[in-house]
Amino acid sequence: MKISTRGRYALILMLDLANHNRGVPVPLKETAKRQQISEKYLEQIISVLNKAGFVKSVRGPQGGYLLKKTPEEYTVGMILRQTEGDLMSLSSDTSNEMEKASVINRVWDKMGKAVNDIVDNITLQDLLDWEEEQTEEAGFYVI
């Protein structure tokens, strides 16, 4: 399993929106600048997230994006699947019946279940909490 930059940036984008969730839309330009990611690339990703119903687009001079739900309602798995598709595509693609029934495929299945269990049980809120813990451990306090 390998997560592409598209998947990683989708997580970063959603986390940035959650971090700056103050009831007003967050301009994509600001997120791009803060995260040092191309605005054009973020536009492609936000389009996918918008179509999935994860974010709300607000047009106009004060426009930008807002999360449609609370950070607790988004899992890492939900976000990654929008940009990556199936997270565990390790199963061998064989035409040999004997290989299809191989016990090796049980390994791939177990790995897939483990990955899905992890990403489906970590929310954006967990990431926000971990970020806060990391900041406190480093001796920085945000008020």
In the chain, pLDDT over 70 holds for what percent of residues? 87
Q: Which residues contact 138 (CB under 8 A, 6 or more apart)?
A: none
pLDDT reported for residue 27: 96
pLDDT reported for residue 91: 45
pLDDT reported for residue 103: 84
In angstroms, the CA 28 to CA 31 distance is 5
Is a pLDDT exceeding 70 seen at residue 143? no
Residue 68: domain span: 5-137
Q: Give the pLDDT band (50/70/90) at residue 12.
A: very high
For 104-118, write each residue's pLDDT tens digit: 888 888 998 999 999
For 53-66, write each residue's pLDDT tens digit: 999 999 988 899 99
Instruction: Look at residue 115 and tell me if it is in a domain.
Output: yes
For 74-112, write each residue's pLDDT tens digit: 999 999 999 988 776 644 455 566 666 688 888 888 998
Phi-psi group of 132: left, alpha or beta (phi > 0 → left; psi -120 to 50 → alpha; rest → beta): alpha
Instruction: Look at residue 16 and tell me if it is in a domain.
Output: yes
Instruction: Look at residue 143 and tell me if it is in a domain.
Output: no
Instruction: Look at residue 142 and tell me if it is in a domain.
Output: no
Instruction: Look at residue 60 and tell me if it is in a domain.
Output: yes
Task: Kindly report the CATH number assigned to the domain that includes residue 132.
Answer: 1.10.10.10
* CA-angle at 77, arms to 72 and 80, nearest 5°: 115
The size of the chain, in residues, is 143
Q: Which amino acid is at 100?
A: K
How many domains are there within the chain?
Answer: 1
